[in-house]
Chains A and B, each alone.
Chain A
Amino acid sequence: MKAGSGGRYLGLVLLLAPVLVWLLGLIVIPQVDLAYQSLQERGSSGERALSLAQYRGFFEESQYWRSYLRTALMSLLATACTLLIAFPVAWHVAKVARGRVRLWMMVALLVPFWASETVRSLGWMLLLRESGVLPQWLAAAGLVAEAPELLYHDATILTGLVYTSLLFMVVPLIGVFETLDDALLEASYDLGGNRWSTLWHIVVPHAAPGIAAGCIVVFMLAVGNYLTPTLLGGNSAHWFTEVIYDQFIVRSNWEQGAAFGLLLLVLSSAVVWVALALTGQRLGQVLRRT
């Protein structure tokens, strides 16, 4: 019996090995190293010393914390927009569409993800740049005098972010909507409720774990996104991942980059924590919905 349970234990370790290697090697060790590096300062002669200079630099240089705040706010906005768009879509797939229609709607949601994110972003550029499809149509239709430049606006970045992350909101929402008993909706109407009171008192509380799960994923994807803000926002994006990239690659200032990286991690964690606390949910309950 003892040997058997020991064998099972060994089997478990072997099965978990890839995950453990992945967790330890690719997440824990780099983060610890990042944290260590961010607390270093290079002197004039190249010697290193422990210091908080990198973090001081973040707060003293306004372009850094402005970019940080801007990234946070834009990501929150993108998350909210994604939720507003995904909610009716997911409702329709889960509760209204039946049979083949439902299947095709799911396929339509998935198809864009068969192309890489780069290709999709380039697609948006083809559509939106000054000589692109949409501005030319607008000009040809006489709605505007001159073809406008639709790229490099905040709205363009938002559009791109929403588009990229829509599926990650729709899927958990479909999950929670499917578990919502239609009789509850009927009961709400039967007791005198209307569309809005049913939505607010029945649907949203039931869907809360799915909404939270979707929002967490979408927010994290948006905050950590590099490609979409860079391609669609250009130089005006001021996305925080660009600032980090700049420190690591362009300026080779790894210590500063490491500090920024950690700050981004703090931002994601803080927003998730605040959102869960505000809606009175627990992480474990939410994760079951993803």
Chain B
Amino acid sequence: MSRAGLDIERVHKRYGDFIAVADLDLSVAPGSFFSILGPSGCGKTTLLRMIAGFLDPDRGDIRIGGKSQIGVAPNRRPVNLVFQHLALFPMMSVGDNVAYGLARRGMARSRAREQAVAILARVGLPGSADKRIDQLSGGQRQRVALARCLVLEPSLLLLDEPLGALDLKLREQMKVELKQLQADFGTTFVYITHDQSEALVLSDRLAVMNAGRFEQVGTPEQIYHCPASAFVAGFVGEANRLPGSVSAVHADGAQVLLDGGLQLAVRCAAPLAAGTAVEVFLRPEAIRVIGAGEADPGAGPTLAATVQAALFDGARSTLLVQAERVGVALRVAWPASAQAGYARGSTLRLAIAADAAWAFAR
């Protein structure tokens, strides 16, 4: 199976006054799963269409496997695209859909057919080559769209929010399947999405994109635990946003005085001067509810809080609490040990984990 890396060098694209993609650099390792995560309108689709060849960058270079693709038509690039709404051909059978690309390469009908049947079996759709597209369920169509591309053994597979149209349950299931397929085929995947959970679960590395630029590129763990900007901290995962100002600066972080009056040690991605107005990002799971009779942990501050609302959501349950000296309502991870619910107005003690808060200038 061929695999190739993708290198993007200072690629720029504007529509009139609107800059869709601003001098982007990107390098994707061969055989890896790379995601581009961003809100709609951030330029990720434009970038993807430039890689696929449907748009030309104003300047910059796009190389696949080291070869520049500038001026190469989409049907001659070693790239295939899984479209947002899949774009399966409704006028053809499932087998003909998958064999379409092979037939365009001049492969004999019978051989193309054999290969189509084989790859359909590999993506979990044995015996469906003669079905019509409208006889398939959403998840099955998804797999046909993947098979239609993978049968061509592309160096690079682009996926444009392919799970967007599926319902939640199926999306979760397809996430797992997609990850397994990628590992199975070893093809380089570039996946764009606005769903942070998809990006975190699937990717080896991901880029968070905003307003035509990458805010941060890294592993899912880096992006989640060490955000490089307020945008990343706010867009990826849940976070409490606490307003405050820098009261002291030291070597590996700063002290922030929250507007509510609490002093909090924070980390910062860019150096902050004392007195700067900041926003502190704190994940719900970085705030722990201290059980009754449990001693206060040494590191990090502890504070008293009152339950405002209990938001039960299985493993993702949180409590909304009003904590002293914080100023705004906090979302706190529901303690795993707590079986009983929390009554509104009941009081708790919270411990904020050390090194978990990040401050960015407002």
Name A's B-contacting residues (CB within 8 A).
181, 183-184, 186-194, 197, 201-202, 205-206
Q: Which positions 81-109 of chain B face chain A at CB distance < 8 Å?
A: 81, 83-85, 87-92, 100-101, 104-105
Which of these, B73, B74, B89, B149, contacts A202 with CB under 8 Å?
B89
Minimum CB–CB distance from A191 to chain B (whole Å) comes to 4
Q: Specify which chain B residues have a CB less than 8 angstroms from the CB of A190 in the assembled complex.
A: 52, 74-75, 79-81
Q: Specify which chain B residues have a CB less than 8 angstroms from the CB of A187 in the assembled complex.
A: 81, 83, 87-89
Is B54's CB within 8 Å of the partner chain A?
A: yes
Which residue of B has the minimal Cβ distance to A192? B104
Dominant secondary structure at the A interface: helix
Q: Specify which chain B residues have a CB less than 8 angstroms from the CB of A193 in the assembled complex.
A: 75, 100, 104
Of listed A189, A191, A197, A206, residue having the most chain B CB within 10 A: A191
Is B152's CB within 8 Å of the partner chain A?
A: yes
Q: Specify which chain A residues have a CB less than 8 angstroms from the CB of B80 in the assembled complex.
A: 190-191
CA distance A183 to B252 in the complex (A): 50
Chain B positions 41 through 83: 1 when the CB is less than 8 Å from some CB of chain A, otherwise 0: 0000000000010100000000000000000011100011101
Beyond the given pairs A191-B75, A197-B104, 15 more chain A to chain B contacts, judged by CB atoms under 8 angstroms and listed by A's residue number, are: A181-B85, A181-B87, A183-B83, A187-B83, A189-B54, A189-B75, A190-B79, A190-B80, A191-B104, A191-B149, A192-B75, A192-B105, A194-B75, A201-B89, A206-B90
Is B194's CB within 8 Å of the partner chain A?
A: no
Name B's A-contacting residues (CB within 8 A).
52, 54, 73-75, 79-81, 83-85, 87-92, 100-101, 104-105, 148-149, 152
Which 6 A-B pairs give the minimum distances between C-beta atoms? A191-B101, A183-B87, A205-B91, A192-B104, A187-B87, A189-B75
Q: Is the CB of B100 within 8 A of A201?
A: yes
Q: Specify which chain A residues have a CB less than 8 angstroms from the CB of B152 in the assembled complex.
A: 191-192
CA distance A7 to B87 in the complex (A): 49
Q: Is the CB of B75 within 8 A of A184?
A: no
CA distance A201 to B101 in the complex (A): 12
Q: Specify which chain B residues have a CB less than 8 angstroms from the CB of A205 in the assembled complex.
A: 91-92
CA distance A192 to B102 in the complex (A): 8
Q: Specify which chain A residues have a CB less than 8 angstroms from the CB of B148 in the assembled complex.
A: 191
Minimum CB–CB distance from B163 to chain A (whole Å) comes to 16
Which of these, B74, B85, B105, contacts A189 with CB under 8 Å?
B74
Of listed B75, B79, B85, B152, residue having the most chain A CB within 10 A: B75
